[in-house]
Structure 1
Amino acid sequence: MSNEPITLTAGDAEVSLQPGNGGRVAGLRIAGTELLRQGDRFGCFPMVPWCGRIRDGRFLNGAIAHRMPLNSPPHAIHGTARDGAWRTARVGADEAVITYDLVEPWPYPGRVTQIVALAEDALTLTMAVETYDSSFPAQIGWHPWFNRNLGGEDARLDFSPAWQEERGADHLPTGRRVEPRPGPWDDCFGMPDGVDVTVTWPGQLELTVTSPEQWVVVYDEQEAAVCVEPQTGPPNGLNTLPRLVTPLEPLEATTTWRWRRL
């Protein structure tokens, strides 16, 4: 096993993976056009074992309190796996499997497996967190940075959430659900029938992000990119809506990006 860069191809689609740089999808090119913002911190990185911010970096597992490093003070953000080196378990022409073993500062042993599968018109990302030891709360999500502009008009976002999580001054959900508000956003939305968000670059490409999960964070406050982040729970969800990983039950999630030319 290694963590060298990987290239997958299917038709005129090409994906570049960087297992050694946080297990991220570093690029997605359709007929030579790059859809993802370039740079070591961008592309699309996995958010695991939590998504978004944990309030003050603190979470409980039963009665046991833990504190994660405050990498976005006063909070901890986006998990630990994006900062680690993943390893390649299997790679083919259009599919790769990469893994990451959870280590400190995360307090529980576990393994994350991510499957990256490319088709001519779609990319499917699947992730699982499993443990053979203590049970713990976890989240899975993805943080793609789609280029706002591909050389024509700026991208447009279209989605119909059932609600928006009210955002407090500390950027975390207050616990209240409100009617969806106009952007720009750094906000979490509920989509009980599954995440379904369309990114359209007028006259060029339409890309739809879907997931069976019910939560999506949309972040479009930066000029260069728009982010559509399906995830298994809201920000601070380790505290407010924990999903437990146990030796008998892993946590699994998937998202598909499907595109068509306009």
Structure 2
Amino acid sequence: MSTHEESTAALRRREIRLSRGDAELTLLPGAGGRIGSLRIAGTELLRQGAGYGSFPMAPWCGRTAQGRFLNGGVHHQLPLNSPPHAMHGPVHDAAWRTARADGASAVLVHDLAEPWPYPGRVTQVFELGEDALTLTLAVETTGDSFPAQAGWHPWFLRRTDGGAYGGGGPVELDFAPAWQEERGEDHIPTGRRTEPRPGPWDDCFGMPDGVDVTLTWPGRLELRVTSAAEWVVVYDEQEEAVCVEPQSGPPNGLNTAPRLVTPIDPLEVTTTWRWRALG
């Protein structure tokens, strides 16, 4: 292994540990600025392993159709990392810088570069409380204006093991969306809104009063995901985990619901995960 490869591997292994009360949070700045672990009283809530935990999505969320988007009169082509689409934005597997980390809070920063065609910066803020975790994502431009999205992709364990809240049955989801985005055969929303349908899901839902989804591990723990964002993707097709993804726009939103980031108007979105013991 070359010296560069060794230093890159070491960077990806570097961890930041935050704690408050019986809550413990592990951040991985070198592995996409993701949350590697969230433990409550010793019980892990996130699926472990490369690509899991909880990662940020920016400057787009989910799939961008064929990796193409338009900014004014300029067409752009993004790499197709999930052919035939561009998936989740480039920051979820990039290295982030640690701007601050102290006990129960941290700030991570990533400067946008190729393959994203515009200069800019993404900032993450983590604030851990005794019964809640608040996450903030901000996208700003350092040059021309561009359309953007931001959100999170947590992999919550379907079943927990160990600690005070381990064991027992699978997690249950409870939410009341106003509509479901009809998903085409290519997994891109068709633009038609339907009544919410039973799962399993790999689908986007509209919650115009803000995202509000409760995950319950029966008799053990309840975790409520809230955000002023109006869109949430729910993915529960895997046996090991379920994903509840608050985001600022729907999949392919760079094309269908663009939110322009300008030098005086950055994009900022926040989510809170609040938990309580049951029984």
Alignment-derived partner of residue 181 in structure 1: 197
Alignment-derived partner of residue 83 in structure 2: 73
1:111 aligns with 2:121: yes
1:97 aligns with 2:113: no
How many positions carry a matched residue from both structures? Answer: 261
Equivalent-residue separation in structure 1 for 2:33 and 2:273 (angstroms): 18
The 5-angstrom pairing of residues 21-100 of structure 1 reads 21-100=31-110
Structure 1 residue runs of 5 or longer lacking an equivalent are none
The 5-angstrom pairing of residues 102-141 of structure 1 reads 102-141=112-151
Alignment-derived partner of residue 214 in structure 1: 230
Alignment-derived partner of residue 252 in structure 1: 268
Structure 2 residue runs of 5 or longer lacking an equivalent are 1-10, 161-166
Q: Deviations over 1:72-101 (max 9, x none)?
A: 110010000012100100111000000000
- CA offset at residue 185 of structure 1? 0.2
Equivalent-residue separation in structure 2 for 1:135 and 1:254 (angstroms): 22
Runs (4 or more) in structure 1 with deviation over 6 Å come to none
Q: Match for 1:194 among 202, 206, 210?
A: 210
3-state DSSP class of the match of 1:247?
Answer: coil
Identity rate, percent: 72
The answer to whether the 8 Å contact 2:121/2:142 transfers is no
Which has the larger helix fraction?
2
Alignment-derived partner of residue 23 in structure 2: 13
Equivalent-residue separation in structure 1 for 2:66 and 2:101 (angstroms): 39
Over the residues paired in the alignment, what is the CA RMSD in angstroms? 0.9
Alignment-derived partner of residue 219 in structure 2: 203
Equivalent-residue separation in structure 1 for 2:65 and 2:268 (angstroms): 24
- CA offset at residue 120 of structure 1? 0.4
TM-score, length-scaled by structure 2? 0.92
Equivalent-residue separation in structure 2 for 1:83 and 1:139 (angstroms): 17
The AA in structure 2 aligned to 1:212 is A
3-state DSSP class of the match of 1:153?
Answer: coil
Alignment-derived partner of residue 170 in structure 1: 186
Alignment-derived partner of residue 240 in structure 1: 256
- CA offset at residue 237 of structure 1? 0.1
Please identify the structure whose Cα radius of gyration is greater.
Answer: 2
Q: Deviations over 1:188-240 (max 9, x none)?
A: 00000000000000011000000000000000001100000000000000000
The answer to whether the 8 Å contact 2:22/2:41 transfers is yes
Equivalent-residue separation in structure 1 for 2:87 and 2:142 (angstroms): 26
3-state DSSP class of the match of 2:264?
Answer: coil
Q: Deviations over 1:95-125 (max 9, x none)?
A: 0000000010000000001001000000000
The answer to whether the 8 Å contact 2:203/2:234 transfers is yes
- CA offset at residue 5 of structure 1? 1.1
Q: Deviations over 1:113-171 (max 9, x none)?
A: 10010000000000101112100000000000000001210000000000000011011
Equivalent-residue separation in structure 2 for 1:225 and 1:65 (angstroms): 37
